Each structure stands twice: as C-alpha cells, then as structure tokens.
Amino acid sequence: MTPPRMSRRVFVGAALSGAAALATTAVLPMSRAVASPRSPAPLPPLDTAALRAAIEDLEHPPSTAAHLLVGGTAGRWRGTSGVADVTTRRPVTVHDKFRIGSITKVFVATVVLQLVAEGRVVLDAPVQHVLPGLLPDRFSPVTVAHLLNHTSGLPDHVGIPEPVTAEDVLRHRFDHWTPQEWVATVTRLPLKFAPGTRQEYRGIHYVLAAMIIDEVTGRPYGEAVEARILRPLGLTRTVVPGNDPQVRGPHVHGYLALADGGLRDITSYDQSSARGEGDMISTAGDLDRMLSALFSGELLRPELLEPMFTLPPDHVRMLDGSPARYSSGLQQATVNGVTLWGKTGETYGYKNAAFSTRDRQRRFVLAYNPTAARGSGESQMVARVADLLTRS
C-alpha cells in the first residue's frame, strides 16, 4: 500500500498484497476473466474440531478474541473464542459488534452501482463532473469506475500523521478530518500512473465514492446505505457511525500492545479519515447475510453485479507487477483451487475477512482482534481458516 491513512495504513498495512490478498499462504491470483458462478474445486466437509482449534489459537497472532461464522449450502458452523473485554473477561458472543474496516467498501460499491442502475451515476463519468471543484484539473481522466476498482493513479497522501508505534496511534486517535480535508491530501502531486493502466488499492477511492453518494442522493452516504441495504436486509446490528467514535451496544473491544507489554483499549476511535472506506460497524451474522444477498442478486441486477466479479484486463497489473486482484468493491483470491470473492478489513485492534464462493456454497466471516503493534503475522488466522474451508 501507499502511504496510508493515519488511522491504520502505515501501522498495520491495509489491503494485503500479492499472495496474501486473503491470507498469508495458499492464495494465488486467478485469471482476469469474469469468474464462473460455480466453484472450480470441490468443497470439503467441515472439520469443526479443526475450525475450533484454528480460532482458539489466540497466540498466532497474539489476539484477544475471535469469531468465525461459516455459511452456505456446503455446511454451516459457528464458533467464538477469547473475551470481548479484557477487564471484565466477558466472553465473546455471536451478537457482538466489531469494526469491519475495509469491508465497508462492499456496501459503498453496492450503493454506487445501484445509482448506476437508476441512471443517476455513470461509471465512465469523470469524477470532476460528479464532484466539481474537488480535484485538480490534471486529474480529469479519473472516472467513477477507476475509483471502484482502484485504477485511478491518484497520488500519495501528503501532510498526514504517520504513526509508527502504538503510543503514536493513541496520540492521534481523535484527530478529526472532513472528507474535503482528507481528499486535499492526495491532490498535491501528479497522478502516479495513467488511470486504468495499473491497480493500486487505496482507501481514498472509497472516500471519494462515498462523497459521490452524498452528492447524488443529497444525504450522507450512511443514510443511503441504511435505506438501500441495511433496512431491506434487516441488518439491525450494522451501523454507519458518522462522527461517533464509540461502538454502541454489546461489542468486542480492540486493543493495542504497548512497548511495556500492556494492552490499551483502542475501541473508541475517530474514523473520519476512513469515511466510506473503513468506518462501518457490524456483526458476523449481518455480514454473512450481506454477502448472501449481494451474490444472489437481491441488491443488484445481473449486469450491474458483473463489475463486482470482473477484474481489470490482464495487462493491468499491481504496482509490484503481480496480477490485479480487485474488482468493483470486492477482491478475488484462490485457495486450494477454490475461487473466493469478498473483502478483508482492518483497523486498529480489529481484523476481518468476509468471503464466499460465487455460488454461495461456502461463505465465511472471520473477525478477530490482533494486538501486535505492527502487521507481522496478523493474517495467520485467516490463512488457517481459509485452508480448512477449501482443502479437500
């Protein structure tokens, strides 16, 4: 990732790169073609003992809690481990909320594509036409579609805090940014590449996408998400928090390990720099319902669902030369020959993965709470779970 947004990018790394797009092992990029609705490999029966052991290992990585929900026609299972609060020692429950980080992008992309279906947004329209005066004239080639699939070429942020330690993060946890202020930090340099020619996963793309929803609907993007997705699907525990730094109701706390070895609660955090790209709160059950509804066509017509399952052409590569792996709102990964679509997400004290085969035979939502000060080994639990759910 590029110099990341202050609240998580430098500190723990946002979207994982290369083979680690879903986990740290066993993930390979697929072809650029639209994926078949069928899973390319047989799905194994659920080994519930192994799944339980995978989430009960809270040492690799050091974590305070974990929650795994497996859904789909190929088998269902649910398990939790650890504590939601290290002070009270309250166990995690299946109804606890958590910060979902970049899984927020799935909701935002869905709303943008709904607006496309209604003729209120045009994917090939320059962002400048939708949000006049926000970006410099030299960014005029950047379109709405470039934002959704991370091919804009927008430059790196300039002038934002870049915390290195947990103590640095805590000092900046209540810094507040307006969307306009945050966008301004990526307008000071030239485009990094011609839009549409490379792919670079960037949170700023979805900050802008949320602003497009604001502009087109005439109300904050969170209200559009609520009206178009949360209420129709009955996702009563999913929240777009706006300027509220708290997680309301029963929830899992996030923690950071300090230099002295102690843990500090990082649950309360100003998410303004992540607006639209990583600020939402949800539960495993709600995310599973969202994936099932999205993949089944409840939320988008087939022709508008296809961009979510279509990667850029083969010549469009990530900056490191690896194949592009992000579509409009989702990312693709292959584990043991099984193609999965979904999204990872993280913010301080929280790490998540929500993926499904396109045919919905196997879905999983994993939410856990690593405490390491930096990202080393943070994806080990995702790797364990993904391997168990796909290895025949």
Task: Specify the CATH number for the domain of residue 99.
Answer: 3.40.710.10
> Which two structure tokens, joined as six digits, stand for 287?
């995310």
Whole-number pLDDT of residue 368: 98
d(CA 8, CA 278): 10
Give the whole-number percent of the chain exceeding pLDDT 90: 85
pLDDT per position as a tens digit, 33-64: 344 444 456 799 999 999 999 999 999 999 99
- Would you say residue 98 lies in a domain? yes
Distance CA(302)–CA(36), nearest Å, equals 13
Categorize the per-residue pLDDT at 15 as very low, low, confident or very high, splitting at 50, 70 and 90: very low
> Which one-letter amino acid corresponds to residue 43?
L
Give the pLDDT of residue 372: 81
Domain of residue 149 covers 9-390
Q: Is 4 contained in some domain? A: no
Query: For residue 59, with 0-12 CB atoms within 10 Å meaning exposed, 13-18 middle and 19 or more buried, which class applies?
Result: exposed
- The whole-number pLDDT of residue 373 equals 58
Look up tokens 């900050």; give the residue. Answer: 207
Does 378 reside within a domain? Answer: yes
How far apart CA 279 and CA 103 sit, in angstroms, is: 9
Q: Structural domain tally of the chain? A: 1
The answer to whether position 2 is within a domain reads: no
Q: CA dist 216 to 129, 134, 212, 312, Å?
A: 11, 15, 6, 26
- The answer to the question of residue 286 being in a domain is yes
**Residue 100 within any structural domain of the chain:** yes
Element holding 92 (H helix, E strand): none
Q: For tokens 């005439």, what's the residue? A: 218
The predicted structure's pLDDT at residue 168: 92
Query: For 233-260, how does the pLDDT look when each residue is reduced to its tens digit (9 = 90+)?
Result: 999 999 999 999 999 999 999 999 999 9
**pLDDT tens per residue across span 143-176:** 999 999 999 999 999 999 888 889 999 999 999 9
